[in-house]
C-alpha cells in the first residue's frame, strides 16, 4: 500500500480544516540551517450558515522549543466567504531553522449575522523526510 502524504484535520462548528504539510528541499539550505516547508490547507463549510474567514493565528514551534506567533488578516491576502458546502484551499509556507517543528492555530470566522468564532487548525508536524517523529 502506497503511503500518501500525512493529513491533519479538525472540525469546529461545522468548519472542517485539513492540512497537508510537505518539505521543500529545493527551497531549503540545511548547511545554513534553513528548512522550508509548504502546507496546503482546505477549509470546508459543513455548516448551514455562510461564514467569512477574517483572520489567522499560527503558533510555530521549532525542534528547540522556540515559539513564533503569527497573527494577521485573512489568508494569502484573501478573506474568503464560504457558503454551506463550499470549500477554499490555499498553499503557504514556513521557514524553520531546525529540521522539524510543529504548527497549529486557528482562523477567526464570522457568520452572516456578525458573530465570530475560532475554527481550530489542527496541530501538524513539519519534518524533513529522514527525521521521523511521532506527535502524541
Alpha-carbon distances of 114 from 16, 52, 110, 111, rounded to whole Å: 20, 10, 6, 5
DSSP-derived 3-state class of residue 32: helix
For domain 16-66+84-127, which architecture applies? Sandwich (2.60)
Residue 9 near residue 60 (C-beta atoms within 8 A): no
- CA–CA gap between residue 87 and residue 11 (Å, rounded): 13
Q: What is the pLDDT of residue 58?
A: 97
- pLDDT for residue 2 is more than 80: no
- Rounded-to-integer distance, Cα 99 and Cα 133, Å: 11
With contact defined as beta carbons under 8 Å apart, do 63 and 48 qualify?
Answer: no
Q: What is the pLDDT of residues 72-93, one digit of tens each?
A: 999 999 999 999 999 999 999 9
CA atoms of 24 and 77, how far apart (whole Å) = 22
Q: Where along the chain do its domains lie? A: 16-66+84-127
Q: pTM of this prediction?
A: 0.89
Is 75:57 a contact under the CB 8 Å cutoff?
A: no
Amino acid at each position: 500500500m502506497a503511503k500518501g502524504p500525512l493529513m491533519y484535520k479538525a472540525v469546529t462548528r461545522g468548519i472542517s480544516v485539513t492540512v497537508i504539510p510537505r518539505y521543500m528541499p529545493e527551497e531549503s539550505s540545511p548547511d545554513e540551517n534553513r528548512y522550508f516547508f509548504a502546507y496546503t490547507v482546505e477549509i470546508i463549510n459543513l455548516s448551514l450558515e455562510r461564514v467569512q474567514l477574517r483572520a489567522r493565528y499560527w503558533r510555530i514551534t521549532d525542534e528547540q522549543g522556540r515559539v513564533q506567533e503569527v497573527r494577521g488578516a485573512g489568508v494569502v491576502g484573501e478573506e474568503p466567504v464560504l457558503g454551506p458546502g463550499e470549500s477554499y484551499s490555499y498553499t503557504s509556507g514556513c521557514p524553520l531553522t531546525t529540521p522539524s517543528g510543529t504548527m497549529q492555530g486557528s482562523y477567526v470566522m464570522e457568520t452572516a449575522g456578525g458573530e465570530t468564532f475560532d475554527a481550530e487548525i489542527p496541530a501538524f508536524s513539519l519534518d524533513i523526510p529522514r527525521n521521523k517523529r511521532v506527535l502524541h
